[in-house]
Amino acid sequence: MRKAKPASRWSAETELTVQFFDLDPMQIVWHGNYVKYLEVARCAVLDSIGYNYEQMKESGYAWPIIDMNVRYIGSAKFAQRLLLRADIVEWENRLKIDYLVSDAETGKRLTRASTTQVAVDISNGEMCFVSPTVLFEKLGVQPV
């Protein structure tokens, strides 16, 4: 049995209960709905550092997702309580977040995922090749 990856310095957890409307005809969560679950976890970790989407916009940057990887390990079912964890693992040139979706009661892993976002200057629509200073400030680290 593999040990769970330790939480990063910038980590957040939240719970969610699977709703009926998230199920597919096989009575398990449709694979596309996990993207929504990742968004819930991502918002939690961004809130924890004080840099949610509204604050990003106010700082002059949009942070679109440019890459997403999802690995399905097990299936979630109706009324199951899920634990959603998001960890910020990269921030220098992009914002990379790793995710773990697990059963809240047993801890059984159901899905692992990662997303990569880049800063885009809202004023001119240009992608930044280095993360803006505001992200470093929110994380409490020095720019490289």
Query: Among residues of the chain, what percentage have pLDDT more than 70?
Result: 94
Q: Over 50: is that where the pLDDT of 1 sits? A: no
Q: Which CATH number is correct for 11-139, 3.30.70.1020, 3.90.950.10, 3.40.50.620, 3.10.129.10? A: 3.10.129.10
Q: Over 60: is that where the pLDDT of 136 sits? A: yes
Mean pLDDT of 60-71: 98
CA 131, CA 117: separation in Å to the nearest integer?
10
Candidate from 3-12, 79-88, 123-132 with smallest mean pLDDT: 3-12
DSSP 3-state assignment of 133?
helix
Cα three-residue angle 26-34-10, rounded to 5 degrees: 155
One-letter amino acid of 113: A
Q: Across the chain, what does the average pLDDT equal? A: 94
The model's pLDDT over 67-114, given as tens digits with 9 standing for 90+, comes to 999 999 999 999 999 999 999 999 999 999 999 999 999 999 999 999
pLDDT-based confidence at residue 30 (cuts at 50, 70, 90): very high
The answer to whether 121 and 129 are in contact (CB under 8 A) is: no
